[in-house]
Amino acid sequence: MDRFPNHRILPYGLVLPSLTVIIAFLIIPFGQAVYQSFYRVSPFGRQLRYVGLRNYLEMFQSPEYLSSFQNTLIFSVLVIGVGLTISLVVALLTTQKIRGAAFYQIAFIWTYAMSPIIAGVMWSLIFDPSIGILTHAIADLTGYRINYFTDTVAAFILVTVASVWVMLGYNICFFVAGLQNVPHELKEAASIDGATSWQVFWVVTFPMLSPTTAFLIFVNTVYAFFQSFGLIDVVTQGGPNRTTEFLIYKIYRDGFGRMQEGQAAAQSVVLFILVAIVGAFQIYTSTKKSVYNR
C-alpha cells in the first residue's frame, strides 16, 4: 500500500479535488434536504417554519403520493425483471462457442449511447395513436386502437418498453463481462459430474454471477428512479391520470412547480433511503462473493 512512505501531506492534496466537490455539492446539499424536510415555506414571504414530522406524515397519508410510490415500484420491478432477463439470455447466447460471438457482443452495445429522451421519442413513434406501427398491428389483430395519451396501460407499457430498450446495451455488456469471469473448470467439473447445462447454469454460473447481477439491479434501480425523468417529462408528463408520475417527477413538480420545498425534500429523503437499501444489498452481495472465492 505505502509505496511512497515519506510523503505525509501529498495524499490529502490528491484527494482534495474530489473531496471538495463531494462535500460542497453532495454531502452539504443532502444535509440541507434532510433539514428542509422538517420545515415548510410559509405561503407569504420566504420564511421557514418548523413542522417536525408533518411533511413525512402527510406524505404517507396522501393517496397521490402512495399511488406514485406504487407505480414507481411496479415500473422499477418491470424494468429490472424484464430488462435483466432479456439481457442475461442474450449474454448467455453470445458467450456460447459460436461463430461471430465477438460481433454479437459489440452489436448490442450501442443502445448504451441513447438517452432516455431519445428512447422515448423513438418508441412514442412506434406507439403513436395515428401512425404507430404497433398501433396499426394491434388494431389489425384486435380491432382496438391503443392511445397512450388517454390509455393508462398503454402509457405505462410505452415508458417501460423504452426504458428496458435503452438499458439493454449496458446490461448485456456487464453480463458478458461477468460471464467471462466465471471459471471454465467449475462448469466443466459440474458437467463431468453429470449436471445438465440447465443445472450447471443454476448451480454454478448464476451464483458466480451474483455480484454482477446485484450491481446491475442497483444501476437499473437508479435508472428507474432518476434517469427515467427525461423520458417521462418529454413523452407523458406524468400522465395520463398521473399513471407515470413517478417519485422523481413528483419531487420535481412539488419542488419547482408548486413551490412546496419542504414536502419535496421529505420525498427526496425517502427516495434516498430506497436507493441506499438497494445499494447496501449490492455491497453485501459483492463482499459475500469474495468470501465464496477464497
Partner 1 sequence: MRLSRKQLKGLIIHVVLLLTLVAVAFPIYYAFVMATHTHQDAYAFPPILTPGDQLLPNIKEAWNRVDMSVVLNNSLIIAVLVSLGKIVFSILAAFAFTHFKFRGSWLLFPLCMVTQMMPLPVRVIPLYQTMANLGWLNTYQALTIPYLASTTGIILFRQFYMTVPEELADAARVDGATPLQYLRSILVPLSWTNIAALLVIEFVYMWNEYLWPNIVTTASDMRVAQMGLRMLYTSERGAAEWNIIMAGTLVIMLPPLIVLILFRKQFAQGIAMQTTK
Q: Which residue has the cell 430498450?
A: 165
The least distance separating partner 1 from the CB of residue 223, rounded to whole angstroms, comes to 10
* 139 forms part of the interface with partner 1 (CB under 8 A): no
* 195 forms part of the interface with partner 1 (CB under 8 A): no
Identify which range of 63-71, 75-83, 112-120, 183-191 contacts partner 1 by CB under 8 A.
112-120
**Quick one: CA dihedral 177, 179, 180, 182, positive or negative?**
positive
Residues in a beta bridge with 40: 49
Identify which range of 50-58, 61-69, 74-82, 261-269 contacts partner 1 by CB under 8 A.
261-269
* 165 forms part of the interface with partner 1 (CB under 8 A): yes
Q: Which of 111, 147, 152, 191 binds partner 1 (CB under 8 A)?
A: 111
| Of residues 33-52, those binding partner 1 (CB under 8 A) | 33, 36
* 178 forms part of the interface with partner 1 (CB under 8 A): yes
Q: Tell me the Ramachandran region of residue 237: left when phi exceeds 0, alpha when psi lies from -120 to 50, beta otherwise.
A: left
* 7 forms part of the interface with partner 1 (CB under 8 A): yes
Q: Which of 128, 147, 239, 253 binds partner 1 (CB under 8 A)?
A: 128
| Of residues 267-286, those binding partner 1 (CB under 8 A) | 268, 271-272, 275-276, 279, 286
State which residue, 68 or 268, has the beta carbon closest to partner 1. 268
The least distance separating partner 1 from the CB of residue 140, rounded to whole angstroms, comes to 10
